[in-house]
Amino acid sequence: MFKHKTLLAAALFSMMFGLPACAAEPIGSKWADATKLPDFFSGNWESRTSFLDSSKTAVPFTPQAQAYVDKYKPIADIPFAGPGCPTPGMPIVQRVGSPLKFFFQPGMIAINIENSSMTRFIKLNGEHSAQPNPTFLGESVGHFEGDTLVVDSIGFGDILLQYGTLPGRDGVFILPPDVIFGPHGPNLRMVERMRLVDPDTLDIQLTIYDDTVWKQPLVSDAGRIFKRNHGDNGWPHEWVCSSDDTLTFDPAQDKTVTEDPADVLKRLKQKDKH
């Protein structure tokens, strides 16, 4: 009874003297919130759409980016292939690297990207660092707007930014020669909106901000659709980059080819000698 009267008196005091009431903690701040969050966490999520950006509405390039596009050579400039499994970084790695597995702890959501063995860490209800350390995945902060997880990411390192596509070319899914990749500016920012369309369908909408590449934000016309895997198929698995990952881009054939592991090793040894 005494505690109840004390709380009531405190509330009345705040109202009388115009003091702010204690704000409720935003969702995702404590373990009890786990039952209130949308179920991103059961099983894992596998992509059902292309990892490439699609925008039916052309967003104009800056003069600097347009000059880069005009000189782009798709045979020589395919930026990721071959040994070492270099990551393309966000957002491509999250799309081509599915299945995705979500984890929660108070103040954080983590996304394990299985096919690249990388994990994103999203700080919930926090703020960006004053000077983020540039990384492939960027520094991400998020909050919930109803059932939608809104993630704001900055601080990107040497990632591959898709500028657009070259018309009239037949691309290979893994290393498409019809895609224009290019550098990004220092203030690159990505905003994702993640929500469940139904219990087994995850939609991720993406907007990219980079005033060195586009004159206005690039908004994907369609979201990325991921389907939930259940049971054994939804269990995380180990992924290892190994010497039998022998896909490489052959400029002579203008396509991705598979090399014999022995030939790959021989070529790498010759390269080391030089």
Quick check: is 159 in a domain? yes
Query: Is residue 81 one of the residues assigned to a domain?
Result: yes
**Measured distance CA(232)–CA(213) in Å, rounded:** 43
Comparing 111 with 219, the larger pLDDT belongs to 111
Residue 174 lies in a domain: yes
pLDDT digits 0-9 by tens, 173-204: 444 556 788 899 999 999 999 999 999 999 99
Whether 265 is covered by a domain: the verdict is no
| Number of domains forming the structure of the chain | 1
Residue 61: what pLDDT? 93
189 phi/psi in degrees, rounded to 5: -140, 140
Is residue 18 situated within a structural domain? no
Cα separation, 228 vs 250, in Å, equals 35
Residue bearing tokens 């920012």: 189
Least confident window among 53-57, 63-67, 170-174, 267-271: 170-174
Q: Is residue 247 part of a domain?
A: no
Beta strands in 100-241 (DSSP E): 100-105, 108-113, 118-124, 139-145, 148-154, 161-165, 179-182, 189-198, 201-209, 218-219, 224-229
Q: Please check the confidence at residue 251 and state whether its pLDDT lies above 50.
A: yes
Q: How confident is the model at residue 51 (pLDDT cuts 50, 70, 90)?
A: low
pLDDT in tens, 117-159: 899 999 999 999 999 999 999 999 999 999 999 999 999 998 8
Residue 214's alpha-carbon distances to 158, 181, 185, 209, 242, in angstroms, are 18, 14, 10, 8, 37
The domain of 193 spans 31-240
- Report whether pLDDT(269) > 90: no
> Chain centroid to CA 152: how far?
10
pLDDT at 243: 47
Asked if 3 contacts 11 with a C-beta cutoff of 8 angstroms, the reply is no
Provide the β-strand partners of residue 195. 203
Q: How confident is the model at residue 44 (pLDDT cuts 50, 70, 90)?
A: very high
Most confident of 83-92, 163-172, 226-235, 257-266: 226-235
Q: Is 234 inside any structural domain? A: yes
Runs of H (alpha helix) within 112-248: none
The answer to whether residue 71 is domain-embedded is yes
